[in-house]
Structure 1
Amino acid sequence: MPAHPDSRHRKFGEALAILRLAGPLVFNNLALAGMNFADTVMAGRLGTRDLAAVAVGGSAWMVVFLCGLGVLMAVSPVVAHAYGAGRWEDAGVVLRQALWLSQALAVLAFTALLGVPLLLAAIGIDPEVVPLTGGYLFAISFGLPGIFAFLAMRFMSEGLGWTRPIMYAAAVGLVVNVFGNWVLMYGNLGFPRLGAVGCGMASAIAMWCMFATMLFYVRRSPRYARFALWRGFEWPRWSTQRDILGLGLPIAASVEAEAGLFAGVALIMGTLGATQVAGHQIAINYAATMFMVPLAFHSATTIRVGQALGRDEPVLARLAGWSGIGLCGAFMLLSALVLLLFREHIASFYTNDPELLPLATSLLTMAMIFQVSDGLQVGAAGALRGFKDTRVPMLMNVGSYWLIAFPMAWYAGVHARLGPVAIWIALIAGLTVTAILLTTRFARLSNRRVAAAATHQDALAGGAGGAAG
């Protein structure tokens, strides 16, 4: 007798499938974080001005990058549904249209970054830093067409459930980025010493190399042959673009809302003093590093849920969603346990400043609760995206972050001057509310889909019985 979809064996199998998909994505996420880490460390050795230019420019770059990333993330559930339904050639249609969209996004992002130096000068950024920041942004902007085209292919491949080529591309990008920094920032191998501008150039080259690696793999691997990815030239098709944008724009808004919250909290911390900023940075750096793992689980959950729904298996889709949410929560609970046992050692890894160490330790303690909520909310978001549900979650995210978390953080930090711990309580409140809202939304949406499928089956069975009678 076949196993029931909700049996223990099926639950274990679904969790294992998510882990297999997520493994290469964990490497990808850590490699991308490694590129940012290398840029910061290598720029720091050049001096304060170059480090400031890379830091300020990197913040501006991240805003436009996350916007494009969010829009293109819609490709994954669209392809996953088509794949699950056996509509092989739809994956090729979506990819070709996503590539057009990626280049339109690159043009918009490039244009937006050109105006950043004027904005920086207007808000009073150090005049010595503004030209360097502008040079860095101009250089890195030439990587936009490459990285956005890579993202279109990445999310297409994710939707098909093939994540290993994404890991290969990330590995190439990390190596090229670090080597390019060494050559262009420091003036090695006969190249001029370009400093922060060289950092931007190295990043742009790395982005194109990631695209080239992904393109080579996708074109050469026989696994992609049946999807007719390169059937022929195709002009932009509004119906497909509308589907991608309809899902992608709310995802982009959700991503920007969360990123904006953390940027805003960092600015609030800046009003309290250098020690408070440093302590916050230590805690948020640890949390962000650990977040790379559930972020990969999130993507894998979207794939499994979307493919199950494409096959019209809502029970399995519900199971995949809860498995992904559970894995995200379990990993972050494990990370919280590590913090509980070793937070003093982790804090001392970052600093030996006797004034900073106690604050960093206390904020790492707050990060224990923070991480569990963060894991649950990102897992639920991935499950909902598998259902192609992005608009209501966007409203939930924006409301939790900007109507709850940010006002609390502003009051605690700026008005009441309650200190960094109180600001972290505001972050925890926002993420916890988000986690509750998104998991509740997933429970209702998935149960409704299962009930509708059961009703449909009953109606078919009744009709068949009546016909037989």
Structure 2
Amino acid sequence: MQQTFTINEKLKQFILIVVPILVTQLGMFSMNFLDTMMSGRFSAADLAGVAIGSSIWTPVFTGLSGILLAITPIVSQQVGAKDTKSVPFSVTQGVYLAVFMSLIVIIIGAFVINPILDGMNLDRKVRTIAFDYLVGLSFGMIALFVFNVLRSFIDALGQTRISMMITLISLPINALLNYMLIYGKWEFPQLGGAGTGYATAITYWLVTIIAAAVIMRMEGFAKYKIFRNFYSVSLKEWKAILKIGVPIGFAIFFETSIFSAVTLLMSTFDTVTIAAYQSALNFSSFLYMVPLSISMALTIVVGFEVGAKRLNDARVYSRIGIAMSIVLAALSAVGLFFFREQIASVYTEDPDVLAMTAHFLAYALFFLLSDAIQAPIQGALRGYKDVNFTFLMSFISFWVIGLPTGYLFVHFTGLGASGYWIGLIVGLAVGALGMSSRLYYIQRVRYRSNAS
């Protein structure tokens, strides 16, 4: 990543950063899709077990990994300020913290997983598969958390293509390991759906080793001498990482867990409604990869410019990212509106489910447009290391406004299950307005006297 001087230069550099991030996010999305698809082909019970295990793990992982995303703005600001001597120390402390966090999660999981599964009234076979899946996944937890730190460092330097390549390498590895462990091929044990947990764990270790090797040997990374020197644990640096990371983690947790909560509340509706909701939500999550990727790219470029005290450049990048997100969302919304029935047909052939899915996708239009505003703004604010407001806004918009509003619409109007979509849209809109005002304050008020 380098200093840019014109709008065209900034746009070109931003696209070079955001496109690999998008491919990486889609690759990670595809890995979960492969696990689900390959487990489903083994048996319905294995599919259900993996789905249950994944629903327990995903909110925990996304929230905790969000803490480690603090490495991105920390390193990007250090690089922008040309404080390269601090980079290896911060990254190493991030790795130490990742190991510590993963061990805590494993220990807590050993005590709480059984009670959680017992409280879900599951079929015995489904419960066993879910438990075995989580056990298998736990063997890769340390590697996964460490990889998140290494990826944050790689991305902070603007080398998002490297993260993309590592993720793309992981996809065939994961698919091959799934094939061997789910179906018991080439003398490997037949583990069914639980095999996806072990396959994913092995994949995490392999990609972490690859990432570490790239960082130590590849030109552009080797000069930072990561892992070349030993540093003792610094609680002061851990505190600095957690000060930025904990609000990021909680903001992500509030956002991801709201959909788990709505899924549980939707269980009171019939099977057609639940299936349609899950299908529409899955496609909405797919489309969300675009504003999410732009958000992550903005954290990198804004952090780099803020570290270099080029505050006007940081504002320009913010506008580029937000404008790009809105334009792409508008184009997606047009396509979604006209082809929602065709999109619904990808998920089901049942005419009732298809019609309901197409109906829900109409609401997803507004969901998409709200996300297109709030996600990139959130990323820009992280570039300024301004994270407490986004954490608070995520809680208020989803849990204080969105969920109660949806509940009221469902139970006190004739909207039925659509009320939850409307509630979430209202919450997202409030969040977008709140974060917009915060970004305006940061850029126009707090830094006005120092603007370059």
TM range (shorter): over 0.9
Please name the residue that 2:74 is paired with. 78
Contact conserved, 1:328 with 1:375, CA < 8 A, in 2?
yes
- Paired residues in the alignment total 448
Please name the residue that 1:268 is paired with. 265
Choose the corresponding residue for 1:321, options 302, 310, 318: 318
Please name the residue that 2:369 is paired with. 372
Distance (whole Å) between structure 1 residues aligned to residue 23 and residue 104 of structure 2? 29
Distance (whole Å) between structure 2 residues aligned to residue 194 and residue 318 of structure 1? 52
Map 1:7-86 → 2, pairs under 5 A? 10-86=6-82
**How far did 1:427 drift?**
1.1
Distance (whole Å) between structure 1 residues aligned to residue 21 and residue 65 of structure 2? 15
Choose the corresponding residue for 2:345, options 323, 344, 348: 348
Choose the corresponding residue for 2:308, options 280, 289, 311: 311
* Unaligned ranges ≥5, structure 1: 458-469
* Higher deviation after alignment, 119-128 or 438-447: 119-128
Choose the corresponding residue for 2:294, options 297, 319, 323: 297
Please name the residue that 1:460 is paired with. none
* Structural RMSD (CA): 1.6
Tell me whether 1:453 sits opposite 2:436 in the alignment: no
Distance (whole Å) between structure 2 residues aligned to residue 102 and residue 225 of structure 1? 21
The one-letter code sitting in structure 2 at the alignment partner of 1:23 is V
Contact conserved, 1:172 with 1:213, CA < 8 A, in 2?
no
Give CA deviations for 1:282-327 in whole Å, capped at 9, x if unaligned: 2111111111122111111001100001111111111112221222
Distance (whole Å) between structure 2 residues aligned to residue 417 and residue 135 of structure 1? 42
The one-letter code sitting in structure 1 at the alignment partner of 2:426 is A
The one-letter code sitting in structure 1 at the alignment partner of 2:153 is M
The one-letter code sitting in structure 2 at the alignment partner of 1:215 is A
Give CA deviations for 1:404-437 in whole Å, capped at 9, x if unaligned: 1111122233565631222211111111111111
Which protein shows a greater Rg? 1
Please name the residue that 2:417 is paired with. 420
Tell me whether 1:279 sits opposite 2:276 in the alignment: yes
Contact conserved, 2:75 with 2:153, CA < 8 A, in 1?
yes
Tell me whether 1:105 sits opposite 2:68 in the alignment: no
SS of the counterpart of 1:305?
A: helix
**How far did 1:226 drift?**
2.6
* Higher deviation after alignment, 247-256 or 63-72: 63-72
* Unaligned ranges ≥5, structure 2: none
SS of the counterpart of 1:128?
A: helix
The one-letter code sitting in structure 2 at the alignment partner of 1:18 is F
Choose the corresponding residue for 2:121, options 113, 121, 124: 124
* Higher deviation after alignment, 365-374 or 262-271: 262-271
The one-letter code sitting in structure 1 at the alignment partner of 2:441 is R
* Higher deviation after alignment, 223-232 or 367-376: 223-232
Distance (whole Å) between structure 2 residues aligned to residue 361 and residue 12 of structure 1? 39
**How far did 1:134 drift?**
1.3
The one-letter code sitting in structure 1 at the alignment partner of 2:355 is P
TM-score relative to the length of structure 2: 0.96
Closer, same or farther in 2 for the Cα pair 1:416/1:340, shift >3 Å? closer
TM-score relative to the length of structure 1: 0.92
